[in-house]
């Protein structure tokens, strides 16, 4: 599937989840339809602690999907794009980054100062690894408070890191809430160049989207997901 666009630059979704995350039910057909409706050129799939789904989707529809992962380290979450295999959770940030570098991935820090999320970073921990990453996520559409994103923007500027934005989509409504408009790219190096010259196109999602994540967790915990999809 290829999405057609008149602008020479791309709109890319850099942080989103699918049925491969424990808190999302998004199927490939739903995400493809969302991309068509919202003019998204590329979707960088970043499921929690696994790249398996992203790698499969990138094989099915390489004109839309790019494999990535959101990895929980012992100190906070990292985003990675153009990954080749999963990196497990709960390694140190340094070891996680080393394994991602071995794959040639581009690395960003996910929602570093989100005041209500367990994957946020203590600033002193982030200071220790900021020189090892490529970017900082400076706008996450799921942050409850504008100040959390503003603090990330200030931190990125102070450390001379390009900022990224992502919807952190867990339900179809969220895809495209926070994107970047960038020059086209073919690989990890091209993506990093594109981010540095990119433009954030973003707005925060409504508070109720977090209920979608809780609903997905509930269905999966009690084995109800398959019954829901089959109309059971």
Give the C-alpha separation, 164 to 195, whole Å: 7
pLDDT of 230 reads 36
Structural domain contains residue 184: yes
pLDDT of 228 reads 40
Q: Whose CA is closest to 51, among 65, 70, 30?
A: 70
Who has greater pLDDT, 206 or 96?
Answer: 96
Band of pLDDT at residue 224, cut at 50, 70 and 90: confident
Who has greater pLDDT, 4 or 183?
Answer: 183
**pLDDT (tens digit, 9 = 90+) per residue, 145-192?**
999 999 999 999 999 999 999 999 999 999 999 999 999 999 999 999
**pLDDT (tens digit, 9 = 90+) per residue, 104-141?**
999 999 999 999 988 999 999 999 999 999 999 999 99
Domain of residue 158 covers 10-229
pLDDT of 229 reads 39
Structural domain contains residue 68: yes
Structural domain contains residue 71: yes
Whether the Cβ atoms of residue 54 and residue 46 lie closer than 8 Å to each other = yes
Percentage of the chain modeled with pLDDT above 70? 94
Give the C-alpha separation, 72 to 46, whole Å: 12
Structural domain contains residue 3: no
pTM: 0.90
Report how many domains make up the chain.
1
Using the predicted structure, report yes or no on whether residue 1 has a pLDDT greater than 60: no
Structural domain contains residue 75: yes
Q: What is the 3-state secondary structure (H, E, C) of 159-209?
A: CCCCEEEECCECCHHHCCCEEEEECCCCCHHHHHHHHHCCEEEECCCCCCH
Band of pLDDT at residue 7, cut at 50, 70 and 90: low
pLDDT of 225 reads 60
Q: What is the CATH number of the domain that holds 114?
A: 3.20.20.140
Structural domain contains residue 18: yes
Tell me the β-bridge partners of 182. 10
Work out the mean pLDDT of the chain and round it to a whole number.
92
**pLDDT (tens digit, 9 = 90+) per residue, 45-54?**
999 999 999 9
Structural domain contains residue 2: no
Structural domain contains residue 14: yes
Using the predicted structure, report yes or no on whether residue 198 has a pLDDT greater than 90: yes
């Amino acid at each position: 599937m290829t999405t057609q666009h008149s602008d020479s630059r791309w709109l890319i979704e850099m942080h989103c989840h699918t049925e491969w995350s424990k808190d999302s039910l998004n199927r490939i057909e739903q995400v493809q339809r969302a991309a068509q409706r919202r003019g998204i050129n590329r979707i960088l799939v970043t499921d929690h602690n696994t790249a398996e789904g992203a790698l499969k989707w990138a094989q099915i529809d390489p004109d839309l999907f790019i494999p990535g992962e959101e990895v929980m380290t012992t100190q906070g979450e990292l985003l990675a794009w153009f990954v080749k295999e999963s990196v497990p959770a709960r390694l140190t940030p340094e070891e996680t980054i080393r394994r991602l570098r071995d794959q040639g991935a581009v690395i960003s820090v996910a929602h570093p100062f989100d005041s209500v999320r367990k994957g946020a970073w203590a600033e002193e921990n982030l200071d220790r690894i900021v020189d090892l990453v490529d970017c900082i996520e400076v706008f996450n559409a799921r942050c409850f408070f504008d100040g959390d994103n503003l603090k990330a923007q200030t931190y990125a500027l102070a450390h001379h890191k390009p900022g990224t934005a992502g919807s952190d989509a867990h339900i179809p409504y969220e895809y495209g809430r926070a994107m970047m408009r960038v020059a086209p790219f073919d690989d990890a190096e091209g993506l990093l160049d594109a981010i540095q010259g990119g433009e954030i196109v973003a707005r925060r999602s409504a508070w109720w989207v977090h209920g979608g994540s809780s609903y997905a967790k509930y269905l999966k915990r009690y084995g109800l997901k398959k019954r829901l999809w089959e109309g059971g």
